[in-house]
């Protein structure tokens, strides 16, 4: 099946063209909305990242230097919340908006007006969340997991606004997920079975079901917090017959599937990119889909591995330990699939492939440290130390973030019609991959030596590693400005024109029928790509 080139006429499939800011506010085009999601999420990425820079500057040496302890706690809280809810989740929704209709041959997302609404809720929620930092009494200062009673009995007044922001962010995620599911089930190209869909679409289908299942649990939890704070209930207040540990159960019942919500789309991206640059089909495609489904199921029954220190009954502790170890099996299957795809492939190492290979290696390190934390005797030692911080940042930074870089470099020629600067992009990759290991690997040693997390000061013996971590973090933060420059240059059409087959290979970029162009159609639009 060949597809026609995008023309300016395609824009009118969605009604008359609008100019300026009004077009962006009212657009129902999936490419426009995908672009807005990506722009918003990277703004939040730099806001959250700047907080991390302040945190690392404070921890560069012992003693209190830059911010008071309360502000430090607020920064660690807001950094986590902004990165999870303001960056990683929206950036993957942006990629889903752009790519899913193209990959399944749909003209647009199934519910375009809801798509617009689900995006515009985000800047409002993000603004409310950040504004809490400037309210009387300070912003949320109880960690991104906002455990009760710290977030109920002892929290500042601004916590009510924080709760409202979380509700809005959850609404946005649920609407985006409904859209993805309806689009995939109802708008696939004729004769495209579910099993024929690209792996990226599969990962997003599974992710969307996870979001719909767990976001209401988070909404219920923060509503109970609101009631405890303002209406005299005692859900989490032991003095009134409640249970603070109940909060942890509810939060992690949401929180653990959430971890997979923010890594499953990354698996899909890497499963698209590695076969392209290995010039081979993905090894074990069916086993990959089964593994993804198994991970989604198991993610619901492992939540209490975050709670081994709360005095769970022995039987419960043992169940959660074994279930957590079991989730390593389908995760390992996927790593073997990627390695087997690479094996004896005709490899080239363009930037998307470099980020994908770094993802496979570094995400696997994050997985191994997670396996260490799943064991009760060792978790007792590692719990609430910097070992845990090192572990989950290895999953989220070289995991989720590197996959986002890989995806943007991979699809940017498709989006803009122009190639990016490959030399600069490789420079961005090497600085990022070196500095990310400089930042997060020493954290494991700090944790094993006993340095607790979420503290603004520390004992003298932790100074050397903390200085290495801080220097790595500053380099990593600065390197992301190169990325922004590369993307803007490609968007302005500074690079060479992209060809119909952007990445040559047996797999290439596969598309079915095209969706209409956004209103701001390029003067010489990128050609749609013939399906091999």
Residues that are catalytic: 79, 108, 144, 172-173, 256, 258, 260, 271, 305-306, 331, 334, 453
Classified as helix, coil or strand, 121 is: helix
CB environment 373-405: b (16+ within 10 A), e (fewer): bbbbeebeebbebbbbbbbbbbbbbbbbbbbbb
Q: At what angle do helices 30-58 and 112-131 cross, to 10 degrees?
A: 20
Q: At what angle do helices 159-186 and 112-131 cross, to 10 degrees?
A: 160
Distances in whole angstroms, Cα of residue 255 to Cα of each of 142, 229, 248: 16, 22, 9
The DSSP 8-state label assigned to residue 497 in this structure reads B
Placement of tokens 């991104």 in the chain: 144
For 445-486, the three-class secondary structure string (H helix, E strand, C coil) is: HHHHCCCECCCCCCCHHHHHHHHHHHHHHHHHHHHHHHHHHH
Residues 408, 487 contacting (CB under 8 angstroms): yes
Cα gap 201→280, rounded to integer Å: 19
Cα gap 453→442, rounded to integer Å: 14
Q: At what angle do helices 199-230 and 264-278 cross, to 10 degrees?
A: 160
Cα gap 368→357, rounded to integer Å: 17
Cis peptide before 149 (omega within 30 of 0): yes
Radius of gyration from C-alpha coordinates of the chain:
23
Residues 523, 8 contacting (CB under 8 angstroms): no
Cα gap 432→173, rounded to integer Å: 29
Distances in whole angstroms, Cα of residue 65 to Cα of each of 28, 56, 57, 456, 491: 48, 11, 8, 9, 41
Residues 521, 10 contacting (CB under 8 angstroms): yes
- The residue among 399, 333, 390, 327 whose CA lies nearest residue 360 is 399
Longest dimension (CA), the chain: 69
Contacts of 297 (CB under 8 A, 6+ apart): none
Using alpha carbons only, give the angle 135, 138, 143 rounded to the nearest 5 degrees.
Answer: 130
């Amino acid at each position: 099946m060949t597809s026609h080139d995008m023309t300016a006429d395609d824009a009118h499939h969605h009604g008359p063209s609008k100019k300026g800011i009004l077009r962006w506010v009212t657009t129902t085009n999936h490419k426009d909305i995908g672009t807005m999601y990506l722009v918003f999420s990277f703004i939040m990425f730099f806001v959250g990242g700047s907080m991390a820079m302040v945190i690392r500057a404070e921890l560069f040496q012992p003693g209190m230097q830059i911010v008071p302890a309360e502000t430090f706690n607020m920064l660690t809280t807001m950094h986590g919340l902004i990165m999870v809810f303001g960056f990683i989740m929206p950036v993957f929704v942006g990629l889903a908006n752009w790519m899913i209709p193209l990959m399944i041959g749909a003209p647009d997302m199934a519910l375009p007006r809801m798509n617009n609404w689900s995006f515009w809720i985000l800047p409002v929620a993000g603004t409310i969340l950040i504004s809490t930092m400037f309210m009387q009494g300070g912003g949320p200062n109880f960690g991104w997991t906002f455990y009760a009673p710290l977030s109920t009995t002892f929290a500042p007044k601004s916590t009510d606004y924080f709760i409202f922001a979380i509700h809005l962010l959850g609404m946005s995620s649920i609407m985006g997920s409904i859209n993805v599911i309806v689009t995939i089930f109802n708008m696939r190209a004729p004769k495209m079975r579910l099993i024929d869909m690209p792996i990226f679409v599969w990962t997003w289908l599974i992710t969307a079901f996870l979001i719909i299942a767990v976001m209401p649990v988070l909404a219920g939890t923060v509503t109970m917090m609101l009631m405890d704070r303002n209406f005299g209930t005692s859900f989490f207040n032991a003095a009134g017959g409640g249970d603070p540990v109940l909060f942890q159960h509810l939060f992690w019942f949401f929180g653990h599937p959430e971890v997979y919500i923010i890594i499953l789309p990354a698996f899909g991206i890497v499963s698209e990119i590695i076969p392209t640059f290995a010039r081979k089909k993905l090894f074990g495609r069916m086993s990959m889909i089964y593994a993804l489904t198994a991970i989604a199921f198991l993610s619901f029954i492992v939540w209490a591995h975050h709670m081994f220190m709360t005095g769970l009954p022995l039987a419960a502790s043992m169940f959660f330990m074994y279930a957590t170890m079991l989730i390593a099996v389908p995760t390992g299957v996927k790593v073997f699939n990627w390695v087997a795809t690479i094996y004896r492939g005709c490899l080239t190492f363009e930037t998307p492939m470099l980020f994908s290979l770094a993802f496979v290696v570094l995400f696997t390190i994050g997985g191994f440290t997670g396996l260490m934390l799943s064991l009760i005797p060792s978790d007792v030692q590692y719990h609430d130390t910097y070992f845990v911080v090192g572990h989950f940042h290895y999953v989220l930074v070289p995991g989720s973030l590197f996959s986002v870089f890989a995806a943007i470099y991979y699809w940017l020629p498709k989006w803009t019609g122009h190639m990016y600067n490959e030399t600069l992009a490789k420079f961005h990759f090497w600085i990022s991959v070196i500095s990310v290991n400089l930042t997060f690997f020493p954290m494991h040693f700090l944790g094993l030596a006993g340095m607790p997390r979420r503290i603004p000061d520390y004992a003298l013996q932790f100074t050397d590693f903390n200085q290495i971590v801080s220097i790595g973090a500053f380099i990593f933060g600065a390197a992301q400005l190169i990325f922004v420059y590369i993307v803007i240059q490609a968007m302005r059409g500074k690079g060479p024109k992209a060809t119909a087959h952007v990445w040559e290979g047996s797999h290439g970029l596969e598309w079915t029928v095209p969706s209409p162009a956004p209103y701001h159609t390029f003067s010489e639009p990128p050609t749609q790509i013939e399906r091999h």
